[in-house]
């Protein structure tokens, strides 16, 4: 029995050599010291041992049991320690590595251009006003001297919300809202989103305009020219060539479209300007007496001018962008350039 006890300790000691997890240590503990374990099996035979030898063997059994328990505890602690060290090693953070830069947002090119336009006109005393994007036919067309069934309505392909309700096709509706609510003199700038059933590389179904208008007594076309010249020079360059071309809008008379000299070919003619040397950037004119009449002013009491600028068009010219859809795709590679 003595040999068996000593052999048991030997066996445990050997088995522990190939054990690598705490769980395996616990399995050994059950196998050797558990209720049905090897040690218990050995001690069962104590009754066959002569009585005088029992105390000595009993002591030895106790001693072996404690030593084996010590071996198991020791190995368990060792494994736990190794595991902790491995974790510390693997999860170490190198605090000397440079951090990941947070992505910084930036303004959309259309926001940049809109703000630039606003700043120029604020410098000339214009105040910024907003108007509704969903509006009554009256404000978008009727009061602007587009009678029903007038062919000029076909110039702008309209999204109808209901029979008399439209997504505004231009920011000119703000002229009517403002004039109905105020008495001149005033000079107002109205940037905003507009909608037309129109889509290609230079036309988008949703785009942006800035409307400007000034109403007072004795306003002249020369003043309109002066204001627009200041605007174009500030936005493009002090020596940008300007051209006023006769045009037609139902709500202005006389009407003009304004072109700037093509920045790419400097007037020689190229693909961007369709070989004309000029690029159209806005529509303008003297406010039509019929418009004053429809907002309740006496038709001869006031004079005024108005203009409407396509913001995408300005941004495309300024930044050399050849497809309007780039503004609305939110491609980071495009947006990062501004």
- Which residues bind to ligand FA5, rule: CB under 6 A? 156, 170, 172, 196, 198, 203-204, 207, 209, 211, 249, 252, 280, 282-285, 306-308, 310, 312-313, 324
Nearer to ligand FA5, 54 or 150 (CB): 150
CB of 238 to ligand FA5, least distance (A): 23
Annotate 209-278 with DSSP letters as a single string.
EEEEEEEESS--HHHHHHHHHHHHHHHT-TT--EEEEEEEETTEEEEEEEEEE-TTTTTS--TTTTTSSE
Beta strands 252-261 and 242-249 are: antiparallel
Minimum CB–partner distance for residue 281 and ligand FA5 (Å): 6
Q: For residue 16, list its beta bridge partners.
A: none
Query: Which residue sits closest to ligand FA5, CB atoms considered?
Result: 310
Minimum separation from the CB atom of position 273 to ligand FA5 (A): 14
Q: Are 279 and 302 in contact (CB under 8 A)?
A: no
Residue 287 burial (CB < 10 Å; 0-12/13-18/19+)?
buried
Least distance from ligand FA5 to the Cβ atom of residue 102, Å: 34
Contacts of 148 (CB under 8 A, 6+ apart): 141, 142
Cβ nearer to ligand FA5, comparing 4 with 202 = 202
Q: Least distance (Å) from ligand FA5 to the CB of residue 335?
A: 19
Nearest to ligand FA5 of 37, 132 (CB atom): 132
Residue closer to ligand FA5 (CB basis): 38 or 156: 156
Rounded Cα–Cα distance for residues 180 and 290 (Å): 14
Between 40 and 199, whose beta carbon lies closer to ligand FA5? 199
């Amino acid at each position: 029995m003595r040999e068996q006890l000593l052999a048991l300790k030997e066996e445990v000691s050997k088995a522990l050599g190939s054990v690598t997890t705490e769980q395996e240590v616990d399995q050994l503990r059950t196998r050797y010291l558990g209720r049905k374990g090897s040690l218990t099996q050995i001690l069962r035979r104590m009754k066959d041992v002569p009585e005088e030898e029992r105390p000595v063997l009993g002591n030895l059994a106790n001693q072996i049991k404690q030593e084996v328990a010590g071996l198991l505890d020791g190995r368990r602690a060792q494994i736990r320690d190794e595991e902790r060290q491995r974790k510390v090693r693997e999860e170490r953070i190198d605090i000397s590595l440079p951090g990941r830069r947070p992505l910084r947002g930036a303004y959309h090119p259309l926001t940049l251009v809109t703000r630039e336009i606003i700043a120029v006109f604020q410098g000339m005393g214009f105040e910024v006003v907003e108007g509704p994007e969903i509006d009554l036919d009256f404000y978008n067309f009727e009061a602007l001297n587009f009678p029903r069934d007038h062919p000029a309505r076909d110039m702008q392909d309209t999204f109808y919300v209901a029979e008399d309700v439209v997504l505004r096709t231009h920011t000119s509706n703000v002229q009517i809202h403002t004039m109905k609510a105020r008495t001149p003199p005033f000079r107002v700038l109205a940037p905003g989103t507009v909608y037309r059933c129109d889509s290609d590389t230079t036309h988008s179904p949703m785009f942006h305009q800035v409307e400007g208008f000034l109403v007072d007594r004795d306003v002249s076309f020369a003043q309109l020219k002066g204001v627009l010249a200041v605007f174009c020079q500030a936005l493009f360059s002090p020596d940008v060539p300007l051209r006023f071309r006769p045009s037609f809008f139902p709500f202005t008379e006389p009407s003009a479209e304004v072109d700037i000299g093509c920045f790419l070919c400097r007037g020689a003619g190229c693909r961007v300007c369709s070989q004309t040397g000029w690029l159209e950037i806005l529509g303008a004119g003297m406010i039509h007496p019929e418009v004053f009449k429809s907002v309740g002013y006496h038709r001869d009491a006031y004079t005024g001018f108005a203009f409407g600028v396509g913001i995408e068009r300005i941004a495309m010219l300024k930044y050399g962008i050849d497809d309007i859809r780039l503004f609305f795709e939110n491609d980071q590679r495009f947006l990062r350039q501004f």
